[in-house]
Chain A
Amino acid sequence: MPETVIDVSNLVKSYSDLRAVDGISFSIKRGEVFSLLGPNGAGKTTTVEILEGVRNRTSGDVRVLNEDPEKSRTLTFKLGILPQDFSFIYNSTPKEALTFYKHTLRASGDIQEILEMVELGDKATTPFQKLSGGQKQKLGLALSLVNDPEVLFLDEPTSGLDPRARRNIWNVIKTLKERGKSILLTTHYLEEAELLADRVAIMNKGKIIDSGTPMEIVERHHEDDNLIIRGDGQVEKDLAEGGFQFERDGSYIKLRLKNIRDATSIINYLSEHKTKFEDFTLKRESLEDVFIRMVGEIEEDETE
């Protein structure tokens, strides 16, 4: 069984009356990509900063690589950290920043190789303030890799990036995953978590409201699947004759499925009646659909 690299038990962080993190527990195994999901203000960043050792906790127990981040002086050397809103010293170049990290962390990595890995090779001597948002974020990622860390904390690594830059960073994270790194990823892009994370935990208002693999969470919380058919009035007429319930949405006809296998019988029914339709798609709920409903339900409950 893989070793536990991060262990969080009953973690609480309070600011006077506000409990930003409210008694959460989770653990991460070596080589696992674990994602904390949640809306803004859910407590993700506070949790990550406590694990990084830059913020003190109110109560609870936290172990990162068997050390308490609040007390350890050596943990920094084993971690790679890309914080939210990464920033660096004005006028410094990526090459200088990495050289500085290499010296202070006593690392042996090849700077040019790391810059190439994050696709910043041609920007090695560009001052920080002249880098684009995506390039700055890549520099932050590059800095987190200088010491070839065992555990990486990536706090919203693709926030505010264009789709291409986001995919570049996803590729780097996939490579790190292949190399067996343990990664704690926070994001509010559900698609990102679904693609990269082995397990996710959904946080809202300081609490973890569910955790598991993305598939498990979707299975637990999804509602009906939908069959979407594009067709004319004849399709509607035939479906009505067959006793199927449906809704018209523009040029689409949407049928709710209690069971995903019902889709086969509907398509077979239309084929037997020689009903012409343009195409059809089967739409399952994504992690995002489930997440929005879960977080929304909690908000509604509180409103009531």
Chain B
Amino acid sequence: MKLSRVSAYFSLHARSYLRSRSALFFQIAFPIILILLFGAIFSGSSYSPSTLVIQNESPSSVSWGVVDAINSSGLFKVQLIPQNENLSNYIAANSVQAALLIPSNFTSNLYSGGLGFVVLKGHTNPTVASADYQTLNGILTQINFRASNTTQKLVLSSQVAIGNTGKTIDYYVPGLIGFTVLSTMFNMVYTVPNYRRERLFRQLSFSGLTKSEWITANMLFSFLMLVLSDVILVAIGIYVFGASLTLNVETILTSALIIFGGLFFFTSVGILAGLVSDNEETVSVVGNLVMFPMMFLSGVFFPLTFAPAYLVTISKFLPLTYFINSLISVLDYGNISTVAIQIVWLLLGSAILFAIAVKLFSWKQK
């Protein structure tokens, strides 16, 4: 391998790349848009209570007391509907997310020493239903304590444990860095079949450039662009959304090493995927087939803590999961030692995959 040829192709590639608006958009602008969106969505500190429709079919001081307690909790915006309204029809007609029915036997059951049931209904999605159920249950528990003149002895205090400040943006910065590295794979998935179809590899071979030199020049340029886009991501995370990342010489160098390992790995995957795509249709299928599962199951956009067990198992087979976990450990916690083995595996796996990709990648005409 001749460095002079690597540098000559690097220069040619860089100039053509920097003239491409779409390439610059996806490399620089798109990750910025993503962090601005995620940052804006998850950085809000004010809580906006959801609307809870209540139909009280058992008007009494007790039932109105429950309604008052829910209303005064500030966790719901209570909206009362008349007793004679059909609640199910009302829910359907008004796309109501959550509705609470206080049934007609509620007061009588309580006065006769029984249990006062209330029913939560709604056209809501399971996640929202679960959250509303938990919140209402909490309010009702407090009412029960008050009614029985007892006090709550055990209190669970919750604090988000991610990052130093517990902000969601601390999670998204490493996730989006992972996304930028993953996108280099997508570049290769498209570039390899495109260059093959346009016979550009054949043309480049006439210049004396070898395939290893071509890959090296591409990777060096991608690394430079990744550093640039990731520095911008980190800067926006810190200065716009107040992300608290552990940045010192050790964590920055370790992150650069992880990014370089990831670049090696995903470029190799991209080359291999590109080799099996021989037309525009298969390029798109193969590209999305490889990229989308990783994008959504590796924790780029949301943590998999609450995902079903089988998805968590699948995520363990996706290299991007380890890549992002390593970055989170290093950038959010400054924890290098616990991910050192993961980084070594990442680099080793990358080297093996790279060797396979270079071996199978031929510039010769079939």
Contact = CB atoms under 8 A, between A and B. Distances in A.
Interface string A77-120: 10101010111111111001101110111000000000000000
Interface stretch (B150-158, B204-212, B235-243, B329-337): B204-212
Contacts of B199: 83, 85, 87
A5 interface: no
A220 interface: no
B55 to A, nearest CB: 64
Contacts of A89: 12-13, 16, 200
A127 B19 contact: yes
Interface stretch (B3-11, B99-107, B278-286, B304-312): B3-11
A147 to B, nearest CB: 9
B203 interface: yes
A105 B208 contact: yes
Contact of A91 (B8, B19, B207, B364): B19
A298 interface: no
B205 A92 contact: no
A55 interface: yes
Given A54-B364, A89-B16, A91-B19, A100 B206 contact: no
A190 to B, nearest CB: 26
Contact of B365 (A55, A85, A100): A55
B12 A143 contact: no
Interface in B3-29: 4-5, 7-9, 11-13, 15-17, 19-20
Given A76-B208, A87-B200, A143-B206, A54 B365 contact: yes
Interface in A21-76: 49, 52, 54-56, 76
Given A54-B364, A89-B16, A104 B208 contact: yes
B364 A56 contact: yes
Nearest to B15: A96
A49 B17 CA distance: 30
B198 interface: yes
B12 A92 contact: yes
Interface residues of A, number: 30
Contact of B20 (A76, A90, A93, A99): A90
Nearest to B9: A100
Contact of B207 (A86, A92, A105): A105
A68 B199 CA distance: 23
B110 to A, nearest CB: 76
Contacts of A143: 203, 206-207
A85 B198 CA distance: 9
A178 to B, nearest CB: 24
Residue of A86, A92, A104, A143 ringed by the most chain B CB atoms within 10 A: A104
Contacts of B200: 87-89
Given A92-B16, A99-B12, A143-B207, 17 more contacts: A54-B202, A54-B365, A55-B364, A56-B364, A77-B208, A87-B203, A88-B203, A89-B200, A90-B20, A91-B20, A92-B15, A99-B8, A100-B12, A103-B7, A104-B208, A105-B208, A143-B203
Interface of B: 4-5, 7-9, 11-13, 15-17, 19-20, 198-200, 202-203, 205-209, 363-365
6 contacts: A52-B206, A83-B199, A87-B203, A99-B11, A105-B208, A143-B203
Which 10 interchain pairs have the tightest Cβ spacing?
A103-B8, A91-B16, A100-B12, A91-B19, A104-B207, A104-B208, A87-B198, A92-B16, A55-B365, A81-B206
